[in-house]
Amino acid sequence: MKQSKRFLVLEDMEDVARNNCTFLQMIDPKARCEIVPSPQAAKDSLARHIPDLLVVDLMLDEKGEIDQKTSGVAFLHYVLCHHPHLNVLIYSTNPELAKQLSLNIEKHKGGFSIVDKMELRTAFIAGASTALLGEKRTPDSFVDAAY
């Protein structure tokens, strides 16, 4: 019997997070989707179990952070260093923030996709599917930054 997928969604906007889970369940209707609002909650969840796919918003409104851009990127760096085989989908209004980690992304052994929130939800599903297959899909500008 085929196991249902497990998804972990790091998103600080509750309605966006619920929509992410709804669209992920189009890939696997029986999937379990956990929503966490902060990088620390995501780290705690990853310590308990490794999902089939981690969805990360890079623009998090973290209380106590000097810049909302830093917590999501710092968490992504943590994932790339500590979970090299994890399938990751970056879903953010500012996906270019991940460019500073392009070398780490290039070396990452798990699936990895980047989708701008301004794109249609079909791009979200395609990005999730690509990452779940263990493949990479990043903007062309990331290839240039890695070298």
DSSP state of 99: G
DSSP state of 6: E
pLDDT of residue 50: 97
Query: Burial letters for 72-92: b for 16+ Cβ neighbours within 10 Å, e otherwise?
Result: bbbbbeebbeebeebbbbbbb
pLDDT of residue 70: 61
- Please name every residue paired with 143 in a beta bridge, in sequence order, or none if there are none: none
Token pair of 17 as six digits: 């997070």
Model confidence at 133: pLDDT above 90: yes
What is the pLDDT confidence band of residue 139, given thresholds at 50, 70 and 90? confident
pLDDT in tens, 37-87: 999 999 999 999 999 999 999 988 755 554 555 688 999 999 999 999 999
Model confidence at 147: pLDDT above 50: no
pLDDT in tens, 86-124: 999 999 999 999 999 999 999 999 999 999 999 999 999
pLDDT of residue 71: 82
Token pair of 146 as six digits: 């890695």
pLDDT of residue 8: 98
Q: List the single range of 2-11, 12-21, 53-62, 134-143 with lowest mean pLDDT.
A: 134-143
